[in-house]
Amino acid sequence: MPELEESALRARNNLLAMFLVHIVLDAILVAVAKDLWAIGRILITIVIMYFVLQGRKWAKWTLLGILSFLIVALVALVIALYSKLSTFLIFGSLVLVVLSAVIVIYLVRSKNLNRYFSEYKLY
């Protein structure tokens, strides 16, 4: 592994921490909603995140797509099923939307994270 700047590693670790919180919250919401199909999406997202942490740029853009789609889908779900969802699911979904947006913005805008992707490549 090449020597990376501390700021690039810190940016990667921040992304990992946000992602872990995201996955835990997502898993809790899936368990409460009893939506077993979403488990596959969570597992695919975890695999993609593994490749993101390996420095793969394609995985970064794939993760951006998954999270962007999740934002749109959750907002649409909350709007369409507002009266049928529990307060916990509504609040949890909105928190997940905000966290997903923060991760998307961090992936796109963080200069230190972009330095991580440019310096660390696994072939």
What does the domain layout of the chain look like in residue ranges?
A: 6-119
pLDDT band at 123 (very low <50, low <70, confident <90, very high): very low
> Both ends of the chain: CA-CA distance in Å?
11
Which percentage of the chain shows pLDDT scores above 90?
59
pLDDT band at 21 (very low <50, low <70, confident <90, very high): very high
- Give alpha helix (H) positions in 34-86: 38-53, 57-80
- 119 contact partners, CB below 8 Å, separation of at least 6: 2, 4, 5, 8, 55
